[in-house]
Amino acid sequence: MRSNDRRVAITGIGAITPIGIGVEGLWSGLLERKSAVGPIRRFDAEPFKSRIAAEIDDFVPSDFIEQRRVRRLDRFSQLSISATRLALEDAAVQPPREDPDRIGVMMGTALGGIAFAEAQHQAYVKDGLRGVDPALALMVFPGASSCNIAIEFGFTGPNSTNGMSCASGTIAIGEAFRSIRRGDADLMIAGGAEAPLAPLTFGAFAIIRAMSTRNDDPETASRPFDADRDGFVMAEGAVTLVLESFERAVARGARIYAEVCGFGLTNDAHHMTAPRPDGRQAARAIQLSLDEARVSPPEVGYINAHGSSTPLNDPTETDAFKQVFGTHAQHLPVSGTKGYYGHALGASGAIEAAICALASDRSWLPPTVNLRAADPRCDLAFLPAAGLDAGPEYLLTNSFGFGGINATLVLRRAE
């Protein structure tokens, strides 16, 4: 078998999200069909028109990382390492028993350690350089995610963190998938992490009016594809997956959640914030992922949409689906799960890939929380509020990001 024909299995999921921590926490949160969005408590949001977010309240870094090391890491890196520990435990992978050269890390983030940088700037304004943490430069750069994971677990294989906005987590998984197919590694840690809840960062998105201002009813603020949506809701979170060659997974008796079998990546080359109106490049990313997976459009049985709950993205994504799936788009089950946990920027794609893997493994497709009446331009087969008991063979998930990035993954039900 040629190396580029290697099959790639998902054998571990590590999740730290506003709706739950760990595999069972994430799954239970989905089954509850409730939003985790609420008033911001992390900082004073009174100056902003949007004052809501999806925060993680029950994350204790020392539950996953030695306390002495916790103090040397910002929240972004804490989330990265902690999600990875959960994923390795879930996959029953013990790093000391593995060949570190054959294990790599691919992560994605939109903003890296920017919240820590904000806090350090305040310290600088107050006390000058004496007030700045000497490790500032090491904490804020996006690559701290994959590098700190490698250091924590001793993985010396391929390593990278991409910063491609809200498509970052999906791109990381796609690149990790291809690393295994090429034979560059046998096992990859892949996903996304984001800790963006800080005043300046939050305010930057508020200034461009990208976020919901439904402050009086935060639980219904994130409502993908709904006619009454008014913007996305910022969130924090991290998910990492353990990907490994299918042959290796079977040989060691691993539980396989699903198989990654296709990845597509394009750019609109149109605008930094607005998607290309015709959706052509988003559609091409979807088609490229199907081509790599050798799957025809009618074979896809579920889509987890990017569904950002923004006025421009949702109808454009709908048009992209119609371009690829034709009449099948009218019957193809679709959900946008950001209504549950908001938009964790670069981590969102990893969260949604994990949801697809769990949906495939457990034969239940989650609904679009808060979808009351679909925008007439978004005329897709959205799942009912109860979700759907089904185990389709092929599932697809989309992520789109500022700068015109379009990324798509195709997953296959485990055999």
pLDDT tens, residue by residue, 402-412: 999 999 999 99
Task: Let me know if residue 380 belongs to a domain.
Answer: yes
pLDDT digits (tens, 9 = 90+) for 328-364: 999 999 999 999 999 999 999 999 999 999 999 999 9
Alpha-carbon distance of 284 to 269, in angstroms, equals 13
Domain CATH code at residue 185? 3.40.47.10
Task: Let me know if residue 185 belongs to a domain.
Answer: yes
Task: Let me know if residue 256 belongs to a domain.
Answer: no
Q: Is residue 324 scored above 90 in pLDDT?
A: yes
Number of domains in the chain: 2
pTM score of the predicted model:
0.97
Look up the domain containing 273 and give its range.
262-413
Catalytic residues: 166, 306, 343
pLDDT digits (tens, 9 = 90+) for 57-83: 999 999 999 999 999 999 999 999 999
Instruction: Indicate if 211 and 271 belong to the same structural domain.
Output: no
Instruction: Indicate if 50 and 157 belong to the same structural domain.
Output: yes
Task: Report yes or no: 104 and 146 within 8 Å, Cβ to Cβ.
Answer: no
Instruction: Indicate if 215 and 80 belong to the same structural domain.
Output: yes
Instruction: Indicate if 19 and 93 belong to the same structural domain.
Output: yes
Tokens describing residue 94: 């013990």
Alpha-carbon distance of 145 to 84, in angstroms, equals 10
Instruction: Indicate if 66 and 208 belong to the same structural domain.
Output: yes
Residue 3: band (very low, low, confident or very high) from pLDDT cuts 50, 70, 90: low
Alpha-carbon distance of 260 to 176, in angstroms, equals 10
Task: Let me know if residue 70 belongs to a domain.
Answer: yes
Instruction: Indicate if 319 and 230 belong to the same structural domain.
Output: no
Task: Let me know if residue 183 belongs to a domain.
Answer: yes
Task: Let me know if residue 257 belongs to a domain.
Answer: no
